[in-house]
Structure 1
């Protein structure tokens, strides 16, 4: 195991103040903020949280263009949630905003859809910032040293983290190999779906085989042993790291407070 001062990933500036924080502190901060935001269904609280999260992106040493590119799947998912709920929502409460045949958009439906879409982004964005600025090896070290996680679990998580880009590369190689053999869906959407499913199944089989070999190799190197392990480099959890967690809780509290002040807070329970 390696350790030492947290190293940010290549996507971030390693000297940025929040990028240098302990990986466990960054994970805890993201978790705390997510739990707070899941307590309400209104759109105001997640909107406030998103505004604060975007404001601190430079403190993580990231560029807004980089974050938006990494968030593209999340943005598409949020748009899908918004459109689906607006079209298919069962309860149509509030003032009618748009009535076009079977499509009926009301203020109640729009507020609910916006709340879910914005909460998806507000909960996911901290995770994007954490993993874009955290070295996987440092994360495994911090889990073992600061959280006392079992080494087998931490090293397994590290291995899975390292293998994720390899799976993406394997997907591209499988798609290129099929095109080279003349297997192409063209513009047929059904054929595209079939090829996507078959490629996904092939990738799943490949991932299981690689995971089995990796687990065997880890056991052979003593990762399944109960013998206490030492760390070459330390991951320290200092006052600044604790301050990050407290700050995340403060952002969550501020978001709820703004929702209360605006009179739109909609608790998940109650």
Structure 2
């Protein structure tokens, strides 16, 4: 559970850490959109090189990102298997009832796996180098035009900030409960799938009670501090673009232009 990186911030002084959170958020959204447009080995290779460069700029070990991938390995594997056995095409390499393994299916499964991994890695870069409160402030700033149509942008950003902060806390709480259960003789890694699923049930009740208690404590803390309306909040850290952000946008534009050139001119 401790390997889940969503919502976790690792302090640092890298070039990526010093970027404005809005720059990192816009870059992540653009990268995800570009990846959904990728349809060739060359574009995936270029995107992978871009992600590797971004990871190097964070000055954090690759093992940290690999540990973040392991908890969702089964989700990636499940998606890859669906693509492998249910993608039509020819030639057919294996045929067993409704299941077919084709050359297009193998290629599509590999594409999907690479796409998942790269998108998750880029999203992990955002969360590991940006505090949850900065992500919420960046989202509020980017969505500010929606205030004109009465969208509660401040409340949405506050909820996002709280949610991001609660994810690692809940994961840590789950790990503590699992350790307590193991010390009492409970096993979560033996037996068949049904037995393992039943072993998870004793985790749910204390985790649910703990989450409710944390939410109640947070609500009381906000109330005693006079919190009334998220739109009236002031910011201790004011977001501002700098020279590093301009360089990042130039690099992002260059990546996108080269990606488009590869997609249309390299087959």
**Does TM-score exceed 0.5, indicating one fold?**
yes
Q: Structure 2 unaligned runs (5+)?
A: 1-7, 145-151
Correspondence for 2:30:
32
Are 2:39 and 2:263, in contact at CA under 8 Å, matched by a contact in 1? no
Higher mean alpha-carbon deviation, 252-261 vs 116-125, is at 252-261
Are 2:21 and 2:135, in contact at CA under 8 Å, matched by a contact in 1? yes
Pick 1 or 2: higher relative contact order, CA cutoff 8 A, min separation 6. 1
Find the residue that maps to 1:112 and give its secondary structure: helix
TM-score normalised per structure 2: 0.77
TM-score normalised per structure 1: 0.76
Cα drift, residue 49 of structure 1: 0.8
Cα drift, residue 192 of structure 1: 0.9
Higher mean alpha-carbon deviation, 146-155 vs 247-256, is at 146-155
Are 2:38 and 2:263, in contact at CA under 8 Å, matched by a contact in 1? no
Correspondence for 1:196:
200
Residues 186 and 25 of structure 1, relative CA distance in 2, 3 Å threshold: closer
Are 1:17 and 1:59, in contact at CA under 8 Å, matched by a contact in 2? yes
Count, aligned residues: 251
Residues 83 and 226 of structure 1, relative CA distance in 2, 3 Å threshold: closer
The separation in 2 between residues aligned to 1:47 and 1:211, in whole angstroms, is 44
Find the residue that maps to 1:118 and give its secondary structure: helix
Cα drift, residue 174 of structure 1: 1.7
Are 1:36 and 1:252, in contact at CA under 8 Å, matched by a contact in 2? yes
The separation in 1 between residues aligned to 2:141 and 2:69, in whole angstroms, is 31
Q: Residue by residue, what CA displacement relative to the aligned partner does 1:82-134 show, whole Å, maximum 9, x if unpaired? A: 23422x3151x1334x4486675322111211222111122221111111111
Find the residue that maps to 1:56 and give its secondary structure: helix
Q: Residue by residue, what CA displacement relative to the aligned partner does 1:207-250 show, whole Å, maximum 9, x if unpaired? A: 24422442343244233326733323322123532442453344
Residue 112 (str. 1) matches residue 69 (str. 2): no
The separation in 2 between residues aligned to 1:245 and 1:204, in whole angstroms, is 42
